[in-house]
Amino acid sequence: MVASSTTDIRSQALACRDAARQLAQLSASAKTDLLDAMAAALEADTDAILAANARDLAAATEKGIGTAMLDRLALNPQRLAGIAAALREVAALPDPVGQVTRDDVRPNGIRVQKVRVPLGVIAMIYEARPNVTADAAALCIKAGNGVILRGGSEAIHSNTAIAASLKRALREAGVADAALTLVEDLRRETMLALLQLNDVIDLAIPRGGEGLIRFVAEHARVPVIKHYKGVCHLYVDRAADPALALRLLVDGKCSRPSACNSLETLLVHADLAPSYLPLAAQALAERGVRVRADAVARQWLPDAEPASEEDYAAEYLDLIIAVRVVDDLEQALMHIQQYSSDHTEVIATEDAAAAEHFVHALRSAVVMVNASSRFSDGGELGLGAEIGISTTRLHAYGPMGLEALTVERFVVRGEGQTRA
């Protein structure tokens, strides 16, 4: 059935680009209606989608896939209703397309505006979660983009069923359904061919483990926005409020350890270590968090194992935390600069000058003062929804919302002005 992956994927991508041009012309209200219709289509197709998901789950169980992965893959009526609700939330967001971000009249009288337009065609490369199929499609389409979805093989039946619903809604809105293209040919050479289409695809966003992201970054000729990992730091300054710093520690480490915005390393100012670390040890122990600490910190952390160099670079995504006592703010900054993944760093302090120095000295995507690292998320930061988190410094840096799926271009209006 699949003849030449290179030819097929190129013609699919070209069809997506043509359809994207239709999407780019839709009014804000037409896109809102379209996304609401997509949500309704998912709800109407609940039985078919759950049946497809059952096939994926059966195959995954047969393969002996772990429970964590099975849980990521599993849909049920409640989860599907959640996906539909998320589409309606995206539908209700302000349309970024057409937003004027600059509006100047030049001395010669020409009026220069910068106006947001869609990027064009976005390729999402992702792993087992079928909700990404709907979430990513909704965000791309809301911003007027075509979307090419290349999910994991474990979720292929679920993804196909979800895409079929969403494509029906597109057709019923009079948009060519290639605007949402699900890649069903999951051969590696087809993904490689997709990643070479730099004359058709404007951006690729890989979402998943570091291996997937490195593979995409390694092989792509299309622009890629990467999120490698989140090694998030909490620095408890000499001037920290210990109770506040304890809340940030517990929330940052324990509220969802598998999230990339969870804390992985705690740095504590030497002056505060004797009073703070025993409290931290107790709070962490109560929640089953294992601690790996440097020799100084272990004086107040009786159950801690020694921390190695690797611990400071690790993204545990688990109930484990690395701890180090630092002499001062400068040493904390040096530690963070050395081990940072450019994701999120937090300072707990009541000293405004220390807070500003921390913010100014660090270049991570998100820098926080007296707030939990767990707020490093598109929804929490007010972006409405999030298509990914960029840890590279081009186009977008940090959580990416709808605006990150557009680009600003120039619109100039004159009355016949010339340059010469």
Residue type, 233: H
User: Exposed (0-12), middle (13-18) or buried (19+): which is 124, by Cβ within 10 Å?
Assistant: buried
410 lies in the site for its own copies, by CB under 8 A: yes
106 lies in the site for its own copies, by CB under 8 A: yes
Return the exposure string of 362-396: e unless at least 16 CB atoms fall within 10 Å of the residue's CB, then b.
bebbbbbebbbbbbbbbeeeebbbbbbbbbeeeeb
244 lies in the site for its own copies, by CB under 8 A: yes
With respect to its own copies, which residue has the nearer C-beta, 48 or 334?
A: 334
Q: Map the footprint of its own copies across residues 184-243, applying CB under 8 A.
A: 198, 202-203, 217, 223, 241, 243
375 lies in the site for its own copies, by CB under 8 A: yes
Minimum separation from the CB atom of position 104 to its own copies (A): 5
Q: State which of residues 248, 281, 284, 321 lies at the interface with its own copies (CB under 8 A).
A: 248
Report d(CA 314, CA 332) in Å as an integer. Answer: 17
The alpha-helical segments, DSSP class H, found in 187-315 are 188-195, 210-219, 242-254, 273-286, 295-298, 309-313
User: Which residue in 402, 350, 357 sits closest to 381, CA to CA?
Assistant: 402
Q: State which of residues 29, 67, 78, 418 lies at the interface with its own copies (CB under 8 A).
A: 418
164 lies in the site for its own copies, by CB under 8 A: no
With respect to its own copies, which residue has the nearer C-beta, 203 or 322?
A: 203
Q: State which of residues 117, 212, 285, 317 lies at the interface with its own copies (CB under 8 A).
A: 117
* 154 DSSP 8-state letter: G
SS (H, E, C) 263-284: EEEEEEECCCHHHHHHHHHHHH
Residue 15 structure tokens? 């069809």
271 lies in the site for its own copies, by CB under 8 A: no
With respect to its own copies, which residue has the nearer C-beta, 271 or 375?
A: 375
369 lies in the site for its own copies, by CB under 8 A: yes
Give the residues lining the site for its own copies (CB under 8 A).
21, 24-25, 104, 106, 110, 112, 117-120, 198, 202-203, 217, 223, 241, 243-244, 247-248, 250-251, 254-255, 337, 355, 359-361, 363-372, 374-376, 380-382, 392-399, 407-420
